[in-house]
């Protein structure tokens, strides 16, 4: 069960760290484990969080949770033990052991954490459509394009715990940069001779890029605050830890997939069952429009005559939409919002039945990216 306070969560995390160390030792792995203490970050989060935000249950409980640039997945596997549904993502080419550690632990722990390979230096997609919270710790300065990554996460995660290295001085310590929104471009031999290091922000620079990519800073601390930090010397290391809230969700409802959806295919689209549901969070007492683009495949249509798609919004019937032939359609309707959350249940009048070639019921094809415009105020 998830603890009610970050202090209790941190204590549990350190206990789990000891258990995990025993698991790793017992595996006798022929690869190097990630060398840094990922779960020690919980102690920094304990210092970071203030007021009601010290209770993480509202942020983590809805799920799923994303551990982005997960290393060996220590944090992801711990969060699973306190009741979170977790996706963990990293990229083998920049991971310490080509993600062998994360995958070995998943097998050893018999874990349900979903482990994904994602190249954040490419035009990537996150594994799931939406997350209640993303953990993005110690990775921002390793990215070539931090703007793209921060914007991508802001569109798919309501909250984000972020940490990154920052600097107050130029490498020669002659110029202070802390008062300016700047970033230093690290050379391949500058910082630990690690050519995956790129951008070291000043504090003002970090706050600026967060604001420009759609994030509101809720809590912020500097670790080693009195350090004469610079971008290139390992001994002058200073870290910023932040709790962020996506401004995107202040103006756009959060869409959560419920029952009736199959796995994402080709990173683009999903089959639905004949009956499928979504939950919409972050709406108010006003009138809204629904617009759901979908494809009715020819195999489903199969000459049976018009197929209809109907819906219920909070118990109120909407539609139906008649689809006289295979093709692309938009289900459109209007409804009155009356609560902060709404359950939408769609029903198609026909579907492919499970067979020896595919054991799933399949009705419609929907692109998750299209769900961003599902609900709009009128």
Q: pLDDT in tens for each of the 378 residues of the chain?
A: 677 799 999 999 999 999 999 999 999 899 999 999 999 999 999 999 998 899 988 788 667 899 999 999 999 999 999 988 899 999 999 999 999 999 999 999 999 999 999 999 998 989 987 888 999 999 999 999 999 999 999 988 989 999 999 999 999 999 999 999 999 999 999 998 899 999 999 999 999 999 999 999 999 999 999 999 999 999 999 999 999 999 887 666 777 788 999 887 876 789 999 999 988 877 777 788 899 999 999 989 876 678 999 999 888 899 899 999 999 999 999 888 776 678 899 999 999 999 888 999 999 999 877 887 788 888
Residue 3 phi, psi (nearest 5): -65, 155
CA 186/CA 194 separation, integer angstroms? 10
Do 199 and 166 contact (CB within 8 A), yes or no?
no
Supply angle C-alpha 134, 138, 143, rounded to 5.
90
For 102, half-sphere exposure in the C-beta direction (CA atoms, 13 angstrom radius) is 27
Helices marked H in 180-338: 203-212, 248-251, 298-301
- The CATH superfamily label for domain 6-250 reads Vaccinia Virus protein VP39 (3.40.50.150)
Residue 199 phi, psi (nearest 5): -110, 120
DSSP lists the bridge partners of residue 162 as: 136, 242
**Which residues, other chains included, contact 20 with Cβ-Cβ below 8 Å and sequence gap of 6+?**
39, 74, 77, 78, 105
Supply angle C-alpha 318, 305, 316, rounded to 5.
10
Return the domain boundaries, the chain. Answer: 6-250, 252-377
Question: Directed axis angle between helix 74-81 and helix 100-109, to 10°?
Answer: 20
**Torsion angle defined by CA atoms of residues 79, 85, 91 and 96, in that order, rounded to the nearest 10 degrees:** 20
CA 202/CA 200 separation, integer angstroms? 7
CA 305/CA 72 separation, integer angstroms? 53
Helices marked H in the chain: 6-27, 41-48, 57-60, 74-81, 100-109, 146-154, 203-212, 248-251, 298-301
Do 242 and 213 contact (CB within 8 A), yes or no?
no
Equal CATH topology for 6-250 and 252-377: no
- Residue whose token pair is 């202090």: 7
pLDDT at 315: 81
DSSP lists the bridge partners of residue 343 as: 279
CA 249/CA 247 separation, integer angstroms? 5
CA 278/CA 114 separation, integer angstroms? 21
pLDDT at 303: 62
DSSP lists the bridge partners of residue 376 as: 289
pLDDT at 252: 67
Do 200 and 194 contact (CB within 8 A), yes or no?
no
Question: Which residue in 123, 150, 152, 155 sits closest to 139, CA to CA?
Answer: 150
Query: Exposed (0-12), middle (13-18) or buried (19+): which is 81, by Cβ within 10 Å?
Result: middle
Which CATH code for domain 252-377?
2.60.120
- Residue whose token pair is 């919409």: 280
Which residues of the chain form beta strands (DSSP E)? Answer: 65-68, 86-90, 114-117, 131-137, 157-166, 183-185, 199-201, 215-223, 238-246, 254-257, 270-271, 275-281, 287-296, 307-313, 316-323, 327-336, 341-348, 365-366, 375-377
């Amino acid at each position: 069960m998830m603890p009610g306070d970050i202090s209790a969560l941190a204590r549990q995390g350190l206990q789990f760290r000891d258990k995990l160390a025993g698991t790793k030792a017992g595996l006798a792995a022929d690869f190097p484990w990630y060398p840094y203490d990922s779960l020690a970050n919980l102690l920094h989060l304990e210092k970071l969080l203030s007021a009601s935000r010290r209770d993480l249950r509202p942020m983590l409980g809805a799920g799923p949770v994303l551990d982005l640039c997960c290393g060996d997945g220590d944090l992801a596997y711990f969060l699973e033990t306190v009741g979170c549904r977790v996706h963990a993502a990293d990229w083998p080419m920049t991971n310490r052991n080509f993600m062998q550690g994360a995958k070995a632990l998943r097998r050893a722990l018999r874990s349900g954490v979903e482990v994904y390979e994602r190249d954040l230096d490419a035009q990537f997609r996150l594994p799931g459509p939406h997350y209640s919270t993303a953990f993005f710790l110690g990775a921002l300065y390793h990215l070539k394009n931090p703007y793209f990554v921060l914007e991508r996460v802001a569109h798919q995660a309501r909250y984000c715990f972020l940490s990154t290295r920052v600097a107050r001085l130029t490498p020669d310590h002659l110029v202070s940069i802390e008062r300016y929104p700047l970033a230093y471009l690290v050379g391949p031999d500058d910082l630990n001779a690690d050519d995956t290091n790129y951008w070291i922000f000043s504090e003002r620079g970090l706050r600026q890029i967060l604001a420009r990519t759609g994030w509101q800073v809720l809590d912020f601390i500097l670790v080693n605050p009195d350090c004469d930090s610079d971008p290139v010397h390992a001994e002058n290391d200073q870290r910023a830890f932040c709790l962020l809230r996506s401004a995107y969700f202040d103006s756009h409802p959060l869409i959560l997939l419920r029952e009736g959806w199959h796995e994402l295919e080709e990173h683009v689209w999903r089959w639905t069952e004949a009956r499928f549901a979504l939950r919409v969070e972050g709406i108010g007492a006003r009138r809204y429009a629904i617009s759901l683009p979908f494809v009715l495949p020819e195999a489903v249509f199969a000459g049976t005559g018009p197929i209809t798609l109907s819906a219920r919004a909070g118990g109120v019937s909407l539609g139906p939409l008649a689809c006289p032939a295979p093709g692309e359609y938009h289900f459109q309707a209007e409804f009155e919002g009356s609560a902060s959350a709404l359950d939408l249940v769609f029903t198609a009048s026909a579907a492919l039945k499970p067979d020896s070639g595919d054991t799933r019921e399949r009705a419609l094809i929907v692109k998750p990216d299209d769900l961003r415009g599902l609900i709009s105020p009128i």
